[in-house]
Every structure is written in C-alpha cells, then in structure tokens.
A and B are shown apart, each in its own frame.
Chain A
C-alpha cells in the first residue's frame, strides 16, 4: 500500500505551500495530490492581488490596521486570534514569495508595489499587474519541483478514512488509469478550494470548484463552519459567469434593464452604479425577479452599457476588459452593451479548523487550509486580496502543523482503508455499468437553479424552505443516477458524478445554515430579517452530519480579543 508521512490534497496556493513547508523536513515523505495539473488550480485566476501590511506605499500602514480592517470587513464574525496571527505574519510571507521568485510589480524604490483595495484603510495589496494569483501559483510550483515534491497529478480524492476515531489515510482514484487505491498517511492537509459550483454556471469559479475535500471531511464528522456566507460579485458575464472587472462600474458604466432604464436610481439614487457590491447585486436580482431583465430563468441578465464613455476612454482605461468581453461573451463594448449578472465568487465557510496556527481539525492528523477551510479569517464577508494571502499563509502553517503531527503519529491500521477502497471500486463498477436512471446533468442544473433562485443574493424563509425540499429531493434522485460512460480510463463522467454528490451535500448545509440564521450579516442578507442581531447570532454556525445523513446545527462562540462589534459603516 502507498504510504506517506504527509499527504497534501490540492495543488493550489494553499496545497503547494503546505507541500513545500512539509517537505522542509527531509526525513518525511510528502505527497501532493491534485485532480488537475497543479498550475491549472484556481488560485491562478486571482488577478487583483494579495494583502500584507508591508508599509512600502503608505508607511503608516501596519499589521494592526490590517487586523482592524479584516475584522470590520468580516462584520465581526472573524476569530480575532486568527486574524491577528494572519496580519502579523503576512509581511514575512510576502518576502518569502519574493525570494521564491514571484515576479511582483515594483515601485520606484525597488520595493513590491501596492495598490488600494476595497475595505482597506491603506493601500496594502501587493500585486503583479493583473495576474497576481497566476504568478504566485507558478512560482510555488517551481519551488515544489526544486524540492522534488512527489506530485500525483490527476489523482482524485474520494474519501478520508478514520478507524476507531483515528485518521489512517485516504482513498483516491488515479484518473488516468481509473485505478482506485488506498494511501496510508500519518497526516493530511486538505486544500481543495471552494465550492462556488453549487450555483453551477452563475459563478466566477472554475469548473472543478466542487468542495470535494470539504465534503470528505464533512462525511467523517468534521463539521462545516459558516457555509451560509457566500460572496457574490455583481458583474459576472451573463453566459458564463466569468468575472467582468469592477472597473466598468468605476469608470462610469450604466446598468440598464430591458426598458432601457438606469434602474440603480430606484435603489441608490445618489451613488447609482457605484453602490457597494452587495447592494448592486441585490438590485440586479430584483430587476430580474420583477420581470425587467432580459432572457429567462438561469439565462436572465441585465446590461452594462459603456458606450457613452466613448471609444477613446474605453480604449485607454478598459482595453483588457473590452477584450475579455469580446472573447468570453462575444460582445464589443464599443458597439453594444454587455450582458451581465451577479456571480458567486467566494465561500467564506468551510471545514471547521480549530487552531489557526496549526490548521488542525478536531480529528488528529487532519489539517485544512485555503478556501476549503474556515479558520475563521473572513467571518461573514471576505475583503478583496485577503484570500490569496489566506491560502499562502495558512497553507504554509498547515504544512508545518501536518509535519509535526506526522512526527507524533505512526501509521494506522490498513483494514478500513482496504475496505473503503473496495466500496469505491464497487461503486465505480456499478455506476459505470448502469444504463438507466436519473440524468446527472439535470440534477446538477436543478440544484444550481434552486440555489440561485432561493438561496442566492437575498434570502427569505419560504424561498429557502423550498430550496431545502428540492435539494433533499435531488439528493434522493442522485442515488438513482447514471453517467453514461462505461470506461475505466479517464472517466470524467464518473469524476463529475462524485463532484456533484459533494456539491449536493454542501448545498444542503448552505441552505440549512442560511435558513436558521435569522439576521442579516455580511454577505448573508435576508429580506425578512434585515439587521444584524448580535444578541442571538454573534456566533459561528457548525453543521454536523449525523447518522442517516441527518444534519444538525450548533453555534459556537466567536473569538473576540480586541475589537468589540460595532455598526459596520464605510
């Protein structure tokens, strides 16, 4: 049986940082597993930048200010011990990335350049033009090649195995061959990214952001923390959900409904299109719900019109945005308005991590970092530029944590690991050969539709109750699905089938947690409970999966060290 001291699952920013820091200890055998080739990971999509109080651009900036901004941004739901640890360590990590060869843009003094970002009281976002995540991802990969990390590219985590309450390893599929194998491990770092795909095409996330690691943890009893907090970006391209930069609104673009009306006048008469993200997103969705959008159902949209800015301004200020709209929506903004609709962008919630310095979970041996995890750094709302920072920093410390855990533990029993691999082998065979049943693509689309319509940008009791019923039905339907590909080798239909199962499990957690949070906080905004309710809900949601797949909610205290909750005003 394959055996590694530390197995990292995921090769995005978080996973590869973990693999790197774990392999600093040369006495350990470290493997890094990823369902896609490492540099395809979604960390590469981050454009804007990475936050750290370097103080290069503004010498009055400090980790303390970064701490305060993050807590306020989180609508006071972030754990302040975690935030302080994060903001204090971030500058060191940036220097480390520089030393790894990340090509950062520079200022006139030869220091790393920094730009202002939403919700930050100083310009502290370090960047590399508009490809920050991309260059960080590639540089960390290069360092991993140098360190000779053992990569298992296109290997897919199926489940984690716990025997007698003790973590023993994982079961994975080698997608290229279709083989399903157990791997023994002393510790594991889960770094599998977010699960924005519960909204399928209405997300800026890559096609494979399906929360596999989060679901695997959930299934063995590690709770899901704060899943109801989902960040939406107002301007996703209509047909694909790909992100259209905020700069369009910034430069003075108009949002129009199907009557050609600048509808923001109804919602933010003064600021108009420049209102905050969540408000603009809600306004667009209201227009669509009330029949003033274009198209139907999931294909509805409104328009972003920039033509009045004139060719000169568009070509000067937004050349890349124009190109993006042409390439991915087929629309030239010089000639026509661009169809847009809000798009799910980021999951604040995830695997319940109990120690921000080791990223450990309640099961000894299992660590988690990056978007799949909830430390909680972002609380109810993440600040731009804080996620790539989160993944590299907590990825690094998860690697160190897992390294130490591996030294403390020895390999466990193989019994359950072998059994679990058998179970998956059987399942693979059955599903491959099944000829009839419910169509998996239908199930996926129905999930996305109900999540979008009922648990999207703004939420109400009855709608969410409807969604819960539908998701429950889809979970039943899923048991009788078929995939239509009998092949063993590179069977993506099977991989997608497992992913959709994971999405359904997580979607249900999102709905239940959202239903039960009877307040509006950060990204969670309810029509029927419009204000924040600290007396009852200044707490993290934990969703547990119990016997018979029943879900149970619990609330735990937020760690508040320095900043008492106050009204969040900008």
Chain B
C-alpha cells in the first residue's frame, strides 16, 4: 500500500524534536486534510492552526521541504510531484517565533505593522456621514494589495528577513504601506511611506520568493519598486539605496553599461568605500577578477538605450 511519511518538526516550548507519521496515501487531498487527519486519528498532541479551509483566513501557512505553502489550498499531489516523494518534512513558517509545533506568534509582527500606520488617514473630501467618492480606476489600484490575507508566507520566504536583525519590514507590511499610499481616499501617503524608508526599504534583495509563493499572487516586488521610486520623489535621494539606483541609472544612460569600479563609490561614498570595500577589491584585483584601469566605453547601440530611457520617462508620466 502506498503511504505518506510526514516528518513534522515538533516543539513544546522547551524541547524540539522531529516526529514521523505514516498513513495511507489518498489522492486529491490537501495538506490541511493530512494535518487534520493526523490530529484526529493518530496524534491529538500535534498543533497547527486553520479555520476557513478555503484560503481566505490566512491561518494555515506551513513549510514543506523548506518552501512555504497555504495548507488548505495546496494539493498534496502537487507537493508529491514537486518533490518527487511522499516523504515530506513539515516545519513552522520561518521568521516567526514558534509557540508550539507548527503554531507561530503574530503578536510581534503586529507591533511592527503599526509602524506604517496601517489605517486610512482620510482626506478632507470624505466624511463619516457621507463616505467618499472614488473612481473605478482608483479602486482598481487598491484591489490587488487588499487581497492580502496575512498568512505570513511572504515573511517566511523573505531572503532579507532571513539574515536581517529584525528592522527590515516584512513584505506584507510593505504591502500595507503601499495599499494606503495608493488609496485616493488617503491624504497622507508620506506617513505610510516614511517609516518604510526609515526601516531599510532598500534592503530588499529581489530574490522574488515572496511573489513566487504568495497564495494570492500579489506583486509585492513591484510595490517595493514603487515605494522606492516614491521615496526618491519625496526627496530621499541621499541614502545608500537611492544612490545605488542613481548610479545604475546614470551609468547605463551614459555608456550603456555599469561602471563597476565607480558603483560602490557612488553608492557608499569615498570614505566608506575605502574602509569597507577596498580590501576586498584589492583581493579581486590580485586574483584577476577585476581590472582597476578599465573605464567602460559607450556600448554599440547606446542611441537605442537612450530612446528606451526617453520612452520610459514618457510612460511614467
């Protein structure tokens, strides 16, 4: 008989262990079905969270073989195909405190969420009595970001949160800031965006894992790009991230490619570069990885590149 073998990471507040469960394979079942079956029929001490069973409450995020999924909407057959095995390892979502087994703590995240003022700061055009007018186009801008169900999959997958000390904001928090910044009924987008900038907005490493795994298909990295652009428009051009972006922008516009020798200087300034990057650069020169004397020339087709710049500028107007 075919069977599932689940290896579940358990935790009781003090001890951690991995427990194995085996039960008969059934087709067309979800991840949540399997966890519920284990709790009901094999081991009542196993804990996880779930509620709606149809991908709207955001309770059932879990990691399987290192990737995060929403348990109730993920077919086991798909997981088996992805990993080519019926032996699966379950862990709680990453980048959260674990309470017990697969149950994580949301409380600290809500403290962090509050930084971006995650509520509408109404313009004077609206009132409690009458509400607002909003066009269909204006509504469509906030349609996708308000799909977020706070399931935490993005946080669990975030490459920056994995290494960061905890200041960097979780993708769903950036989404919230974006959602209000874009709402035509909100009169203070800066109040949502400034805290984002103050909390390492530029540290997103574009690993795209949040977007790839978001069960609601929210384009989180597009939003991060938007937030960055907006902070630059707000005048926040003199920070590492913005300078880095401008360096890219200027170089490519000028010669059609990056000047990697100058990039760190433009981004971090001369002093910091000497302190932080020169030792590494010296090693790279020594190993023949870079040539300090190479100054990039204009690439062929630079005219085309400039046209693209012009076009992009027009479009973004």
Q: Which residues of A contact B (CB under 8 A)?
A: 36-37, 39-42, 44-45, 92, 94-101, 103-112, 128-129, 131, 134-135, 138-139, 142-143, 145-146, 153, 176, 206-208, 240, 242-243, 324, 327-331, 441, 483-485, 487, 489-493
Shortest B142–chain A CB gap in Å is: 5
Are B53 and A493 in touch, CB under 8 angstroms?
no
**In the complex, A128→B139 CA distance in Å?**
10
Shortest A109–chain B CB gap in Å is: 8
Are B45 and A493 in touch, CB under 8 angstroms?
yes
**In the complex, A97→B149 CA distance in Å?**
19
Enumerate chain A residues within 8 angstroms of B44, measured Cβ to Cβ. Answer: 483-485, 493
Known: A36-B51, A42-B52, A493-B45. A131 touches B147 (CB 8 A): yes
Interface size class on chain B is 35 or more
> Which of chain B's residues has its CB closest to A105's CB?
B139
> Which of chain A's residues has its CB closest to B127's CB?
A99
Enumerate chain B residues within 8 angstroms of A491, measured Cβ to Cβ. Answer: 47
Shortest A558–chain B CB gap in Å is: 33
Are B57 and A101 in touch, CB under 8 angstroms?
no
Enumerate chain A residues within 8 angstroms of B131, measured Cβ to Cβ. Answer: 94-99, 112
> Which of chain B's residues has its CB closest to A135's CB?
B146
State which of B49, B52, B113, B150 has its C-beta within 8 Å of the C-beta of A145: B113
State which of B28, B29, B40 has its C-beta within 8 Å of the C-beta of A441: B40
Q: 10 tightest CB-CB pairs across the interface, nearest first?
A: A330-B28, A101-B120, A98-B131, A110-B133, A95-B131, A490-B100, A484-B44, A142-B119, A206-B51, A146-B119
Are B75 and A327 in touch, CB under 8 angstroms?
yes
**In the complex, A128→B147 CA distance in Å?**
11
Shortest B47–chain A CB gap in Å is: 5
Are B185 and A101 in touch, CB under 8 angstroms?
yes
Enumerate chain B residues within 8 angstroms of A206, measured Cβ to Cβ. Answer: 51-53, 57
Which residue, A107, A110, A491, has most C-beta atoms of chain B within 10 A?
Answer: A110
**In the complex, A101→B99 CA distance in Å?**
33
Shortest A110–chain B CB gap in Å is: 4
Segment with Cβ contacts to A, from B104-112, B218-226, B263-271, B277-285: B104-112
**In the complex, A107→B73 CA distance in Å?**
32
Enumerate chain A residues within 8 angstroms of B119, measured Cβ to Cβ. Answer: 100-101, 142-143, 145-146
Enumerate chain A residues within 8 angstroms of B130, measured Cβ to Cβ. Answer: 95
Enumerate chain B residues within 8 angstroms of A41, measured Cβ to Cβ. Answer: 51, 57
Enumerate chain A residues within 8 angstroms of B45, measured Cβ to Cβ. Answer: 484-485, 487, 493
Enumerate chain B residues within 8 angstroms of A36, measured Cβ to Cβ. Answer: 49, 51, 57, 59
Are A441 and B41 in touch, CB under 8 angstroms?
yes
Known: A105-B139, A131-B147, A328-B73. A110 touches B134 (CB 8 A): yes
> Which of chain A's residues has its CB closest to B54's CB?
A242
Shortest B191–chain A CB gap in Å is: 12
Are B58 and A40 in touch, CB under 8 angstroms?
yes
Are B40 and A103 in touch, CB under 8 angstroms?
no
**In the complex, A406→B148 CA distance in Å?**
36
> What is the number of contacts between chain A and chain B, taking CB atoms within 8 Å?
165
**In the complex, A129→B45 CA distance in Å?**
40
**In the complex, A45→B33 CA distance in Å?**
19
B84 on the interface (CB 8 Å rule)? no
B189 on the interface (CB 8 Å rule)? no
**In the complex, A111→B133 CA distance in Å?**
6
Are B56 and A99 in touch, CB under 8 angstroms?
no
Are A324 and B29 in touch, CB under 8 angstroms?
no
Enumerate chain B residues within 8 angstroms of A103, measured Cβ to Cβ. Answer: 139, 142-143, 146, 183
Known: A111-B133, A153-B106, A330-B27. A44 touches B185 (CB 8 A): no
Are A101 and B183 in touch, CB under 8 angstroms?
yes
Are B136 and A44 in touch, CB under 8 angstroms?
no
**In the complex, A151→B150 CA distance in Å?**
17
**In the complex, A176→B100 CA distance in Å?**
8
Are B120 and A328 in touch, CB under 8 angstroms?
no
Interface of B, secondary structure class, is loop
Are B118 and A145 in touch, CB under 8 angstroms?
yes
- Identify which of residues 124-173 in chain B touch chain A, using a CB-to-CB cut-off of 8 Å: 126-136, 138-139, 142-143, 146-150
Shortest A443–chain B CB gap in Å is: 12
Are A101 and B47 in touch, CB under 8 angstroms?
no
State which of B51, B114, B128, B135 has its C-beta within 8 Å of the C-beta of A40: B51
Enumerate chain A residues within 8 angstroms of B139, measured Cβ to Cβ. Answer: 103-106
Are B57 and A40 in touch, CB under 8 angstroms?
yes
Given contacts A36-B57, A99-B120, A101-B183, 20 further A-B contacts (CB under 8 A): A36-B59, A37-B59, A42-B57, A45-B57, A95-B129, A95-B131, A96-B131, A99-B126, A103-B183, A109-B133, A110-B135, A138-B146, A145-B110, A153-B107, A206-B52, A240-B53, A243-B54, A327-B55, A327-B73, A492-B47
CB-defined interface of B47-77 with A at 8 Å, one 1/0 digit per residue?
1011111111111000000000000110101
**In the complex, A39→B146 CA distance in Å?**
13
Enumerate chain B residues within 8 angstroms of A208, measured Cβ to Cβ. Answer: 51
B95 on the interface (CB 8 Å rule)? no
B235 on the interface (CB 8 Å rule)? no
**In the complex, A276→B258 CA distance in Å?**
67
B122 on the interface (CB 8 Å rule)? yes
B12 on the interface (CB 8 Å rule)? yes
B103 on the interface (CB 8 Å rule)? yes
**In the complex, A44→B149 CA distance in Å?**
9
**In the complex, A493→B103 CA distance in Å?**
14
B13 on the interface (CB 8 Å rule)? yes
Shortest A396–chain B CB gap in Å is: 12
26 A-B residue pairs with Cβ-Cβ distance under 8 Å, sorted by A, are A37-B150, A40-B52, A40-B58, A94-B131, A99-B122, A101-B180, A103-B143, A103-B183, A131-B56, A145-B113, A145-B118, A146-B119, A153-B107, A206-B52, A207-B53, A243-B54, A328-B72, A329-B28, A441-B40, A484-B43, A484-B45, A485-B45, A489-B100, A490-B47, A490-B101, A490-B103
Enumerate chain B residues within 8 angstroms of A40, measured Cβ to Cβ. Answer: 49, 51-52, 57-59
Enumerate chain B residues within 8 angstroms of A484, measured Cβ to Cβ. Answer: 43-45
Shortest B218–chain A CB gap in Å is: 13
**In the complex, A294→B105 CA distance in Å?**
42
- Identify which of residues 245-290 in chain B touch chain A, using a CB-to-CB cut-off of 8 Å: none
Known: A103-B142, A106-B136. A142 touches B99 (CB 8 A): no
Shortest B98–chain A CB gap in Å is: 10
Enumerate chain B residues within 8 angstroms of A108, measured Cβ to Cβ. Answer: 136
Are B99 and A176 in touch, CB under 8 angstroms?
yes
**In the complex, A324→B128 CA distance in Å?**
37
Shortest A130–chain B CB gap in Å is: 10
Shortest B266–chain A CB gap in Å is: 40
> Which of chain A's residues has its CB closest to B137's CB?
A106
> Which of chain B's residues has its CB closest to A39's CB?
B150
Enumerate chain A residues within 8 angstroms of B120, measured Cβ to Cβ. Answer: 99-101, 139, 142
**In the complex, A107→B75 CA distance in Å?**
37
**In the complex, A134→B58 CA distance in Å?**
11
Enumerate chain B residues within 8 angstroms of A327, measured Cβ to Cβ. Answer: 30, 55, 73, 75
Shortest B203–chain A CB gap in Å is: 25
